[in-house]
Amino acid sequence: MIGRRGAITARSRWLHLAGAVVLALGRSVSSVQRLSPSLQAPARPLTADERAVLQPVLAGGTALDDIRIIDGRAGLFDVVPHPFTLGTTIYLKGRRAPGLLVHEAVHVWQYRTRGARYTVEALGAQARYGTARVGGAYDWRAEVRRGRTRWRDLYAEAQAQFVQELWEEGVGIVDGRVERGGGAFFRAVEAGGPARLDDGPVDRSALARECVAALRGGGGMTAPSEIPHAPD
């Protein structure tokens, strides 16, 4: 067991180091681009509307004040067509859907709870499973079929995708009314009301509740083949 634990620690250190390198490279590209607004749009804090979207999702589990948004041009990063997150900076690429903002904010949470290594894990999962909507690194249903039945055990992209879908599809009773989507699940949980997530015929409410508890405070995430968390 000691040998295995040693191997895990070495892998963990390597991932952290590799993650820090990826993040540092990304930051240095960004810091050069920032000098020229024609290359990269200026960073801004969250708007009041964006805070209202994210507050029930993260609910104090991660601070909103130092999240920065870059709306438009992202220079070199425009080779990636979709929004992405570097540390606590979210590159929205001109997209406006709140569900996408929620997805990217989960990556900020991952960065805060796991450090830079999550970047490498996310890239590793994309290399291993691809990015196809079905069966790819974003496909949390495929992850569950692979045996990762707890939200905190899902790969980074599958975690973020699950939270996005939970925000977009989850049902909750808010102020006595049944609401679906638009963060209803999170707002209902925050108010102590009933909430559920149905995925076709499958009830995913337990997975959703575990996810919300992790986002709000504890839990962090484990990566596959890491030491599992002790039962809560």
Q: Which CB sits closer to Zn ion, 157 or 168?
A: 157
Q: Which CB sits closer to Zn ion, 33 or 164?
A: 164
Query: Minimal distance in Å, beta carbon 192 to Zn ion?
Result: 30
Q: Which CB sits closer to Zn ion, 160 or 207?
A: 160
Q: Which of 163, 191, 159 is nearest to 175 (CA)?
A: 191
DSSP class per residue in 83-123: -EEETTEEE-TT---HHHHHHHHHHHHHHHHHTTHHHHHHH
- Residues that bind Zn ion (rule: CB under 5 A) add up to a total of 2
Query: Minimal distance in Å, beta carbon 74 to Zn ion?
Result: 15
Q: Name the DSSP letter for residue 68.
A: E
Closest residue to Zn ion, based on beta-carbon distance: 160
**Intra-chain end-to-end CA distance of the chain, in Å:** 23
- Pattern of binders to Zn ion over 139-158, x per CB under 5 A? ------------------x-
Tell me whether strands 84-86 and 89-91 are parallel, antiparallel or unpaired: antiparallel
Binding test (CB under 5 A) with Zn ion, winner from 41, 57, 101, 160:
160
**Tokens matching residue 146:** 């692979």
Q: Which CB sits closer to Zn ion, 163 or 197?
A: 163
Residues that bind Zn ion (CB under 5 A): 157, 160
